[in-house]
Amino acid sequence: SECPEWKEDDLDKKLISVLKTNLRIRELNVITPKYSEEYVIDLLIVQKDRKLSQSILEFLFLQDKDVWDHVCSNHAKKCWEVMFMVFQADFEQWNRYFEQLNTLSIFEGDKPGSLFLNQFQTNTAFIEIVKSSENFLAFL
């Protein structure tokens, strides 16, 4: 069968195609799962492409709790870095995605989400953004 998304130049469509295929293979439970989202997150960090990262994040946020448990447990800091690259001081965006992760119960108890949340207290670039008086009020 043809894969029309591979005929286009848009890297985001190609990466989403890889993620979708990987998710379908994992649903079959016939082989040990490989988590392509790990590699995609690594690629997004290297690419430093805000638009590409936004597109991939939007796709990932449509996925289930298992995907996010895995991303937040094994790649919490990297995932946070990608989100920070996209959202910066756009606290409405942070809130929107935060609510989605909260709906998936990623932050409950000693779950992997605590590694993700810790970045708000330790990431110096984020702290510097929030320190400005204009951003601080928006953050509150």
Tell me the pTM: 0.81
Q: How many CA atoms lie within 13 A of 138 on its CB side?
A: 15
Q: Find out whether 36 and 18 touch, Cβ atoms under 8 Å.
A: yes
- Tell the residue number behind the tokens 């870095």, with chain if given: 81
Cα distance between residue 75 and residue 35, in whole Å: 11
| Helices and strands per DSSP (H, E), number in the chain | 9, 0
80: containing domain: 4-139
**Given its phi and psi angles, is residue 29 left (phi above 0), alpha (psi -120 to 50 degrees) or beta?**
left
Write phi, then psi, for 33 (nearest 5 degrees).
Answer: -65, 145
**How many domains does the structure of the chain reveal?**
1
pLDDT tens string for the chain (140 positions)? 455 554 556 889 999 999 999 999 988 988 888 888 989 999 999 999 999 999 999 999 999 888 888 787 778 889 999 999 999 888 889 989 889 888 888 887 766 677 788 888 898 888 888 887 676 666 66
